[in-house]
Structures are given as C-alpha cells and as structure tokens.
Structure 1
Amino acid sequence: MKKIKEIKIQNFKAFQKEQVFPINGKHVLVYGNNGSGKSSLFWALYTLLQSSIKEDDGVKKYFKKYVASNKGTHQTLKNVFMDENEQSFIKLSAIDTATQHEETFTISHDVINTNDDANTLIQELNIASDFINYKLLHNFYRASHKQEVNLWPVFERDIFPFMTDGTQNWLDDIIKAPTLDVPRTPKGAVASRNRKQRYVDDIAALNEKIQNLLNEITGHANIFLKDHFFEGKDVIKVALSFEKKFKFDLIKNKIWEDNKQGQRHDQLHIKLGVEIYDDTIPEKWRAIERVQSFLNEAQLTRIAIGVRIGALRTRPLASARFKILVLDDMLISLDLSNRMDVVRIILNKEEKEDLKFFDGFQKFILTHDKGFFNLIRRNTDEEEWVYFNFNKDEKDSSAPKIKEDESPIQRAIKRFEEGEFEASGNELRKEAEAILDSFLDPDMKFFNQKFKGLSQKLDDAFKQLIDKRHKDFTEKFINDLDLSKLKKIKTDYSTDGTLTAEEIANLDSIKTRLFDFLIEFNEKKNRKELLITETKDILDRIMNAASHHSENPLHREELKNAIAKMIELKEHL
C-alpha cells in the first residue's frame, strides 16, 4: 500500500514561500478560516494528480508568469503577490508502507515527472482517487422553482473531471472527437452526407455510453441512500437520465469554446428524477416534480451525496495500491446532525462491510467550522491522523499561517512547562471530556444529546465498565458452565476415580480459564475503574480549581501527576 508522506507547495494559489506538510502516511484533518488556503491544498493535490494524464505543456501553463497580453499565461496559478521570477512548484513524496521505499514527484514550469510512462504511480493515484468540494452540493439544487433540475453543469464541473475512464478523466474524454467539432472539409465547410452519417453514429454511441454510466451511478446511489441514510427502508430513490443529448447541429456550433458555456448548459440536460415511497398508492412510489421546491435541503443534500458516492462506486478501486479522498467543506450546508451521519459513513465508524471501500483511502477532510473540526478530531486516532490549523487575515496579502493543531493534552503539557498551571488545568479538563465523549459514544451517534457535566460522564463511564465486567463474566462462564462442574472444581477432582481422563482434562481447562479470567479481570478492568475514580479526584482537586475562583492552589507535583493520569486514562479507554 502506498501513502502520501509529505507535500511541499511553493508559490501556488494561496501559498507563497515553501509550505511543508509532514503527513507520514496518515489521514489529514484541516481547520481554517475562509481564504486561509484549504482550497489551495485541495487544488494543489488535484492539479498534481491530473498532471499524470496531461502533456507537459498542459501542466506548465499553471506555472507560467502572467502576461496580460498573452492569453497562454492566463491559466497560471502562481500566487499574485509573489515575485514573478520566484520558483513555483508542487511536490509529493510517496512511501510504501511495507518496504518504506520513498519516491518524490514534482510539477513545475521546468520539472514534470508525474506523466512518465516508465513510472505510472501518479496515474494510478489519479485513477483511484476522488475530490469532492462544497460546490457540488449547492449546484445540485440551485435551479429556480419553475425549472427542472438539470445536472449537466454539475456533472461537467464537479463529477466528470473527477472520474476516470482508463487514464483519461471523463470530461476530457467527452471533449475529444466527436464533440469537439463536426467533420469538415479542408476549407472549413461541413463534410459530406456519408461522413456525416458515420459521425452521427459516433455521437449516438457516446450518448449511450453516458446514459449507461448514469444508470450505473443511479444503482449505486439508491443502494447507498437506502442502506446508510434511511436505515434500509424505502424512502427516496433517484434516477438520472440523459434527456437532451449531443447532436450534430449542437456540436457544429463548437460548444466547447469559452463563450459557449451558457448554450452548452442549456442544450445538454441530465434530468434528476426523484420518487418518494408512498404505501397509500398502488404503485408505492410517487414521482416528485421540481425537487428543489418540494424537498428540504437535508433531503436534497443526501441525494447529492448519494449520487456523488454512487459515481465513486462505479470505479474498480479494490486493487488500487494508492488512493486518496479529499473533501473540501463538502458538508457546509448541512446541520451538525446530518454532517455527522456523513462523517460516520466516510470514517466507517461502525465497521460496516459494504463501507469498507472507504477504508483504503488516505483521507483529507478540510473544514472552516471549528466545532466540526474538534468533533471529528476527538473521534479519530492521533496515531492515524495528523491535524493542521490554517489561519489567514483576509485584510492583507500575507501567506496563510499553518501549524499542526495541538490537542488539549498537548496544550496542557505546554502550559505546565511554561508555569501557567491554571491554563494547564483547564486544558486537562477539555482532554478528560474528549476522552469520555469518545469512550461513551464511539460511533458518534449521541453528540447532540442533552449536555452532561464531566462528573456525570465519569459516573456513566464507571457504570459502563461495571456492566461490561458483569456481561463478560456471564458470557464466559454462567451461560455455558453448569453448577455441577463448578462444584467439582472445588474438590480434589484429579484423584476422583469416577472421572475419566478426558473429564479431568476438561475440568483442568475450565479451572485455567476461570483463573486467567479473574486475573485479567482484576489487572485490566480494575485499572480502568481505578483511573475513573482517580479522575474524579483530579476533577475536584485540579480541574475545578483551575476553572473557578478557589483558595486551593494548583501544586506542581499534583498537576504533573494529573497530566500523567490523563495520558494513562486515554490509553486504557
């Protein structure tokens, strides 16, 4: 399996001087305010992956000096506040998790080694990866109330470019002949009838190919919606149909020219059909016209995500050695409850078999919502994730300030080392709450429940541990062990002449199991319960004293011990 170890970006979009992201094969969670560079990281990754299927000139255009009179430089993505002679590049280091072998890939104006047919690793990464940003959801239902939803613009901008057909993304493949232009004579006139007919047949084949893709996406989307948004119940199903297709007369107008976008989006139409389950009618399914007018935003967003995930599922990803999934504020328009539904799915918190295809992705989640960031952070493993904080003052032209985001326990240790004991105690309280929240709600299902104080959470955790202790004992011994065998174990059964050698061996096995369980029971389970009890003492002695006015001083050794206990509590829970 391949993973991204490091990303370096210089003089590209929001980034100015070289910015290094040490990822070391982990998943990535980023918080940043608007304009802080989150989307620049998104597009840097996308640009590097897409470069693997482009000619050098198609990559160099992003790193040229901008010259107003030269249209060939107008697609440059160099930072406008940097000196025009400053080097601009994107570099990605990949590591093989088994062999630790590293490779570095670069795109710039002068160096491009991502599209070398002798090393197709970035091509493979491009084929297997996916990028989803916030525009996708908004564009699904931005039609006016009197119009049908036309998803062609959504597919053209947000889906086809992120899907691959062989080594080509779907949009680039569609823009090739036959849709680039109709057959013409050397003087530019439309070609003869015979050539036209062959060309019309090619157009029909392309239209059919697009519809077949839409059918496949629809199938995956409906399964996903039913199983993961509606708990296996029939609630909503969708259909995608290519209603207005490519035609000779449309293509004759050279619809891919820059000034023809409006005409293209008007003349090409992918219809979003939606049906709602209704058991009061014989057909059971009721068609909804103008879905943007009659479905609420949460329902529309779920449909959009279902279609997008359906598109992802159309690709053969199981055998891919290298793949990433990049989400840029994808859930911005959802309330917290619906956002967490999606995050649970992407993280596969409940380890569902049909969601395991998400597990192979190295994930990048970018958000401007600090609360959402914190919620995901405390429900992910720091051994598997790295966390970044982007910050940018929108009033000036400076580069974003980027640092690894510290956890409460890291801040508690830093404040302790600086002698700021009250601040350290407050951070310790936050860490305890994060540990307890994660322990009590590992699947992130009850994050919006009625507020509970830390003391109540500690009581709940203690009770859960006691209940699990009883359940474990019951499952291991009470349910499959009869009373007569327990009574025999109390005696010197090894000399009992009424027992066979096999029966004695069986009793030996039961006795060993029983004592092993009791030893583990007291060593491990008691340690967890003891830590909960000790944390309650720390709450009274340290955390409350840090949070409220008190005559009780925060002694150095007590606070140092409390930090150690929180680290141990996290390890055990």
Structure 2
Amino acid sequence: MKIQAIEITNYKAFLGTHQLNVGGKNLFIYGENGSGKSSLYYALKDFFQASIEDIDLAELENAFVLAADKGKTSIKVTFKPDSQGQNRKKSYLFNAGRNDSRTAGDTSIRDGNKLKSFLTYKHLLAIHHLKKDEAINLFDLLVKGVLKHFRYSLTGGKELGELWAEVQEAIARDTGKEYPINMKKAVVNAAIKAFNGAFGELFKPESPEYILKHARPFLDYFSHNVDLRLRFPQVRPTGDYVGLEGDQVHVELTYAGKPIDKPHLFLNEARLSAIAISIYLA
C-alpha cells in the first residue's frame, strides 16, 4: 500500500480542507517556519496511532475554526493498491465520529503503525541537551516514546507503556484504612516485577529482544568508531513506598576504544544523533 493522497481538515495549522496529492511517490517536505510542515507530520502520525490508541481530535483543532465548523476535524489518507493488493484506491477517514483505521477485518493501518518511523527532533535533543553534571538517561525515550506500544510474551499481552502506567498508579495511591501499607507494598511490588521482567529483556545479551543486537548494525553503518552498552538498574520503590528509583537507562560508551565518561559533552551532535537513531530503529 502506497499513499496516494492526504486530506486534512481543521487540524493544527490547517484551517479548512487541504489535500496533498502524493501519487505513491517519495516526498521531501520543506517550507518556512509556521507553514505547516510539523502539522502534516503529526497528522500522519496521529492517523496511524489512532488505529491502536484513542486520540482526541478536539484538542488538535485549528484555533481559528468558526463555531459552526467545530467538531469537524479530520484526517483522510488514500492508498493504492488497497489492503487486498488490488490495483484500486482505498481511503480511510479519521474524525470525531468515525475511525476507519480500526475497521474490523482490515488490520492494514494497525500493521502500518507497527512499521512506522515517526521520529521528531525533540527525541534526539533529549539525548544531548543536558547540563554538565547530568547523565544521558534513555528511560523516557524508550518507555514513554519509542517502545510505549511494544508488547511480547513476557508482557502478558500488555503494552510496555501500560505496564509502566500501572507502576506509576500503584506508587501514587495513598494508603488508609481500606488500603493499608502492606497491601500497597504487595500491589507495587507486583507491578514493578511485571515491568522489570518485560523491560529488562531488552538489556540481556542472551535475549532475542536484546536491543543492542538490533542497534549495532545501524550504528556500524555510520562508521563513527562508537560502541555502547545500555544498563538498566531495575525500577524499585523508595523505602517509604511513595516514590520510585532506578527508572533509568544508562549509556556506557567508548569512542575509538576509549571509555567516555560523559558522551554528551564529548561527542558532537552528528554522533549523538547517530546513537539515538540507531536505538530508535532497533
């Protein structure tokens, strides 16, 4: 399936209906600041993401929409060939009352969402825009971003983002008569165990999910003389069970065989971005 056309109505920077005819080709999008490049990016990202996640289009409506046109925000994407491989066009509409990307029996948009490569520069900036005394921490990038919807057998059918949300909800719940501290400890420990078991597989060299096994071929492609290890210390509750520790993914890096204590102060932006992209693609 290749994108033939994108139609955007009252979404972010797009006031009214705007159509971009793609024709199944590769495109390079450019334009002045505020011309709508990011809005086009997010329209496509939200269209695919809506196949597995509830997205409130009302929050993304153009600020200058007239009262009579409110609630009509939509994104429509037309593909060819269709999901059956037939040489005909097939359109999917996502608006407040209709979401064709979740059509029963047609999983093509959900499948496409698994293969998407939406990576914003904000993700990359988080890797190297740090203060001198800070260390690179990839936890949020992986758990809340890149791998939020990742699931495999050890997650019990749940996405990694769901498991982490359960940990956060468990630790935030206040204790009382009906919810004593011993009960909270049991709930928190169970949630943390489930999360650590699933997320921890990414950092075990013997695991098929070992992230560096998949990242190194990409990193080698850049030929930057960089090698790295990722270390996850495991999430654990604080002693009073009101907070969390260990929600970190540390980077241990060598450049030309030399260990680098603070890579974000030593490596240039190109090499740091290469690391982020390699991990993202892996």
Structure 2 contact 143–164 (Cα < 8 Å) conserved? no
Indicate whether 1:62 and 2:61 are aligned: no
Correspondence for 2:222 among 214, 226, 229: 229
Correspondence for 1:240 among 216, 221, 230: 230
What TM-score do you get using the length of structure 1 for normalisation? 0.43
Alpha-carbon shift at residue 186 of structure 1 (Å): 9.2
Q: Percent identity?
A: 24
Alpha-carbon shift at residue 306 of structure 1 (Å): 1.9
Distance 1:51 1:17 in 2: 21
> Can you list the C-alpha shifts for 1:305-347, whole angstroms capped at 9, x where unaligned?
222222xxxxxxxxxxxxxxxxxxxxxxxxxxxxxxxxxxxxx
What TM-score do you get using the length of structure 2 for normalisation? 0.82
Amino acid at match of 2:216: N
Distance 2:14 2:107 in 1: 28
Alignment of 1:470-489 (within 5 A): none
Residue in structure 2 matched with residue 272 of structure 1 by the alignment: 251
Alpha-carbon shift at residue 79 of structure 1 (Å): 0.4
Larger gyration radius, structure 1 or structure 2: 1
Equivalenced residue count is: 268
Structure 2 contact 15–65 (Cα < 8 Å) conserved? yes
Say if 1:91 and 1:190 are closer, same or farther in 2 by CA, change over 3 A. farther
Distance 2:240 2:97 in 1: 39
Residue in structure 2 matched with residue 92 of structure 1 by the alignment: 77
Alpha-carbon shift at residue 211 of structure 1 (Å): 2.4
Q: When you count helix as a share of all residues, which structure comes out higher?
A: 1
Say if 1:204 and 1:277 are closer, same or farther in 2 by CA, change over 3 A. farther
> Can you list the C-alpha shifts for 1:140-182, whole angstroms capped at 9, x where unaligned?
1112112221222333454234x532697643x3344344325
Structure 2 residue matching 1:122: 3-state secondary structure:
helix
Alignment of 1:336-347 (within 5 A): none
Distance 2:64 2:46 in 1: 21
Structure 2 contact 94–100 (Cα < 8 Å) conserved? yes
Amino acid at match of 2:116: S
Structure 2 contact 51–102 (Cα < 8 Å) conserved? yes
Say if 1:304 and 1:118 are closer, same or farther in 2 by CA, change over 3 A. same
Distance 1:168 1:53 in 2: 13
**Which structure 1 residue ranges, 5 or more long, are not aligned?**
64-75, 254-263, 279-285, 311-573
Residue in structure 1 matched with residue 118 of structure 2 by the alignment: 131
Alpha-carbon shift at residue 277 of structure 1 (Å): 3.4
Residue in structure 2 matched with residue 82 of structure 1 by the alignment: 65
> Can you list the C-alpha shifts for 1:359-398, whole angstroms capped at 9, x where unaligned?
xxxxxxxxxxxxxxxxxxxxxxxxxxxxxxxxxxxxxxxx
Structure 2 contact 163–191 (Cα < 8 Å) conserved? no
Indicate whether 1:4 and 2:6 are aligned: no
Say if 1:114 and 1:242 are closer, same or farther in 2 by CA, change over 3 A. same
Indicate whether 1:220 and 2:214 are aligned: yes
Distance 1:23 1:186 in 2: 59
Structure 2 residue matching 1:155: 3-state secondary structure:
helix
Higher relative contact order (CA 8 A, sep 6+): 1
Residue in structure 2 matched with residue 300 of structure 1 by the alignment: 272
Structure 2 contact 160–195 (Cα < 8 Å) conserved? no
Say if 1:190 and 1:25 are closer, same or farther in 2 by CA, change over 3 A. farther
> Can you list the C-alpha shifts for 1:204-245, whole angstroms capped at 9, x where unaligned?
23113212224522222222222x1118xxx21111222362
Say if 1:238 and 1:118 are closer, same or farther in 2 by CA, change over 3 A. same
